[in-house]
Amino acid sequence: MNKMRISQVTLAAVLGLMGYILVNAATAAEKKPARPAITKINRSEAEWKKILTADEFYVLRQQGTERPFTGRYHDHHEKGTYVCAACKLPLFSSSTKFDSGTGWPSFFAPIDAKHVEELVDNSHGMRRVEVRCARCGGHLGHVFDDGPKPTGLRYCINSVSLKFEGKSVR
């Protein structure tokens, strides 16, 4: 009799625990972001060389920098979205663009934090933070902490890395 009671209690405890696990699993699923994570594009440098122009390959794949005031977007003021020149991922909105006077298109924020990757870059005797496209890994430019409000950041981006699309992608 006593054994029967113990097994009933054990069963109730197991059922209770299972219920708890199920409820928590459902809550965890709801907390997942609505949009899936970025799926990376992995192409060989030889493939990129075929796809990109010489200037695009130099900047996007070899961390090159266009000469200031020579790019197509440093003095560009239309409303729209700047996408990655290599993979077309939306990167920056005209609503965050500002005139930095540097000769490179400048933004105070990316269109989505998940669309860019930031890496410490110690090249050329400087400690800078490199900005890359989160999907194709293409080099975009650097981010500095001397930008305007509201973020105080200055994403200094090569025009060559971007393609402007007149109507908002989002």
Report the nearest approach of Fe ion to the CB of residue 135 (Å).
Answer: 5
> Where does this chain touch Fe ion (CB under 5 A) — which range of 24-32, 64-72, 130-138, 152-160?
130-138
Examine residue 153 and tell whether it contacts Fe ion (CB under 5 A).
no
Phi and psi dihedrals of 31, rounded to 5? -80, -10
Helix (H, G, I), strand (E, B) or coil at 26: helix
Binding-site size, Fe ion (CB under 5 A): 8
Which stretch in 24-32, 92-100, 128-136, 141-149 sits in contact with Fe ion by CB under 5 A? 128-136
- What is the rounded CA–CA span in Å between residue 77 and residue 97? 8
Q: How big is the CA angle at 81 (ends 79 and 87), to the nearest 5 degrees?
A: 160
Q: Does 97 bind Fe ion (CB under 5 A)?
A: no
CA angle 101, 124, 121 (to 5 degrees): 85
Interacting residue ranges for Fe ion, rule: CB under 5 A = 84, 86-87, 89, 133, 135-136, 138
